Structure 1
Amino acid sequence: MKKPSLCIVTPALADANNGNWQTARRWAHMLRGHYAVRLVKAWPDAQSTDDGTDILLALHARRSAASVTAWAQAHPHKPLVLALTGTDLYRDILSDASAQRSLALAQRLIVLQEQGPQALPEALRAKCRVVFQSSTRRATLPKTQAHLRAVMVGHLRDEKSPQTLFEAARLIGPDEGIFIDHIGEALDPALGKAARQTAADCPHYRWLGNQPHAATRARIQRAHVLVHTSRMEGGAHVIMEAALSGTPVLASRIAGNVGMLGADYGGYFPPGDAAALAALLRTARDGQLRGGAWLADLQTQCQLRSARFEPAAERAALLSLLAELS
């Protein structure tokens, strides 16, 4: 039997090496057993010829708005699914007409964490489904008790609030036994300059720039904690990658992070509060030197959440949603 054809529109392709691309690539892999899948940057594409495509799945309400509109006009009776990013949920749909139109045209909306539906207008929540992202598990590694190694992962742009990490690094002395690795490309040149200056001024902080995904995962696995400072987030890959590696998370208390880790998680700090982040890092270091009880508690909390981030759960959620539209 011929498989239904599914086109995934993602504004970011492999060269972007960001969360949107990782999501699109993973979904394509998961769905290929059931659908004939292709990944494109925009629809219609070169293979659209009198289109035999059965379903369009678009990532990003604003950046894929032209593709969403074109599909809805060409195929008003064919399924259209829209996956929403953090900038969609917490910025664009509040004021951008093209993003709002995308929401209205889609038959189903996907959000990537359990707080996501609350960001939507109430009238749209019935067509929204939560699909947690997934990754492979990695062994929890033993960590030294001599110092604390923290890692932050995310391209340098305003939504990720790297300034919070820079300020926290400056509040921590080089002799405090806290070492910070920062991974991510400088999408904002001014933030790249700030990262270089922080590294020059603070020997315990290293900006490593963009890194291959496998190397990044290895650094998450080896770290005592993952730091996540975002002020706007749809559902961070790195949080679930840390949880699946046995690495606790210190995260800004924003909806996108609470939707991943749960309202009662013990490792939050107020968004943008560098002093609070520095204090949590010191608490983690002090606990590590005394045997790591506080970090072990955070690790247990992450472990309890990690079942949500298994590939089988993500695949089942996607297939269930698509089956609703058959």
Structure 2
Amino acid sequence: MSTSAAPSVVIVSPSLAQANNGNWRTAYRWSRFLGGHCRTRIVTEWTGEPCDLLIALHARRSAASLARHAAETPDAPRVLVLTGTDLYRDLPFDESARRSIQLASRLVVLQEAAVGQLPEDRRPHCVVIYQSAPRLAPAPTPRQRLRVVQVGHLRDEKDPLTFMLAAQRLGDRSDIRFEQIGEALDEMQRIAAQACAQTQPNYRWLGGMAHHLVRQRMRRAQVLVNSSRMEGGAQVIVEAVQCGTAVLASRVDGNVGMLGAGYDGYFELGDDVALARLIERCRDEPTFLAHLRGQGQQRSSLFEPDEERRHVLHLVHSLLSPFSR
């Protein structure tokens, strides 16, 4: 334990602010929650600097930091926050990811369905902490058209092609507009988005945007689509719910763990036909759109910043004692 009155916490995030992705936003929120209680730093790798607690995001990409911390300070606590690629891609096959979950004092997952992906012996060491976002007042619903948005960098894990194909299927619906937000991290995804924008007047690819602008786009949309192949706990779902935007989501564990098993806005992974039908229902059946919004609001208490902050502080307090309050 350091001699300073406030414990020191290092947060290892594989991505920093310039990446503008979920890992960074989680690290940044947690550092703000801990402000006034701990001295915090966000780094891409732990290189041996003294700290009372290490919090690492991503089992595989932060494996070296966790291993070094365990070797050099075996009695110090370590927290591992598990991502979607950890849970649904890396853990079954990657030895470094499996090693990371054994080295962690506590494991954190971001939605309730994720606990079942862990080895049974590690589940008692796991806590669920939902991500959060401040509430925004919903924008007025336009009568002329439905605005549908997808948010996330264009890469295979997010399956942006399903969104584009749904836009093409609804190309004759001038009363439905599609907006895709996110940088292309794959050249084939870039080509596909550019081609869709050139041939489909109802589709726009807006590229990367600052987070506050993305939230306003999301707020003004009536529907957010999350078509991901894997999710640890999608921040975009949190942000959509917190501004009253209905969500249509692929039926994968990460999305079901966020929205609940009884949610009525799921489509099967990669099924652009089913997605297009749900989007049409949102436009043609106002009661269905209102129903999805209502179901989202039933989950909104999980996504409040005060709730996430309470869980983060409780986690850190349980690992550091005495704890500067």
| Shorter-normalised TM range | over 0.9
- Give the CA deviation at 1:189: 1.2
Q: How does 1:137-156 map to 2 (within 5 A)?
A: 137-156=135-154
**Deviates most, 7-16 or 137-146:** 137-146
- Give the CA deviation at 1:175: 3.4
1:17 and 1:141 mapped to 2: Cα distance? 24
The letter for the 1-side match of 2:52 is: D
The letter for the 2-side match of 1:142 is: P
1:209 and 1:167 mapped to 2: Cα distance? 18
1:189 and 1:27 mapped to 2: Cα distance? 33
The letter for the 1-side match of 2:319 is: L
- Give the CA deviation at 1:92: 0.4
Alignment partner of 1:214 out of 212, 215, 238: 212
1:318 pairs with 2:325: no
The letter for the 2-side match of 1:153 is: V
The letter for the 2-side match of 1:184 is: G
**Deviates most, 316-325 or 26-35:** 316-325
Q: Which residue of 2 aligns with 1:2?
A: 5
Q: How does 1:133-282 map to 2 (within 5 A)?
A: 133-282=131-280
CA contact (8 A) 1:174 1:202 kept: no
Q: Which residue of 1 aligns with 2:74?
A: 76
Q: Which residue of 2 aligns with 1:66?
A: 64
CA contact (8 A) 1:226 1:248 kept: yes
The letter for the 1-side match of 2:205 is: W
The letter for the 2-side match of 1:152 is: Q
CA contact (8 A) 2:153 2:181 kept: yes
RMSD value over aligned CA atoms? 0.9
1:128 pairs with 2:121: no
- Give the CA deviation at 1:122: 1.3
- Give the CA deviation at 1:54: 0.3
- Give the CA deviation at 1:301: 0.7
- Secondary structure class of the residue paired with 1:76: coil
1:2 and 1:214 mapped to 2: Cα distance? 35
2:276 and 2:98 mapped to 1: Cα distance? 39
CA contact (8 A) 2:171 2:201 kept: no
- Give the CA deviation at 1:190: 1.0
1:26 pairs with 2:8: no
1:282 and 1:36 mapped to 2: Cα distance? 50
1:38 pairs with 2:41: yes
- Give the CA deviation at 1:174: 3.3
Q: Which residue of 1 aligns with 2:281?
A: 283
The letter for the 1-side match of 2:297 is: Q
Unaligned 5+ residue runs, structure 2? Answer: 321-325
- Secondary structure class of the residue paired with 2:92: helix
Overall identity of the aligned pairs, in %: 52
The letter for the 2-side match of 1:313 is: E
Q: Which residue of 1 aligns with 2:323?
A: none
1:33 and 1:274 mapped to 2: Cα distance? 47
| Runs of 4+ residues over 3 Å off in structure 1 | none
Q: Which residue of 2 aligns with 1:111?
A: 109
1:152 and 1:10 mapped to 2: Cα distance? 24
- Secondary structure class of the residue paired with 2:112: coil
2:74 and 2:239 mapped to 1: Cα distance? 38
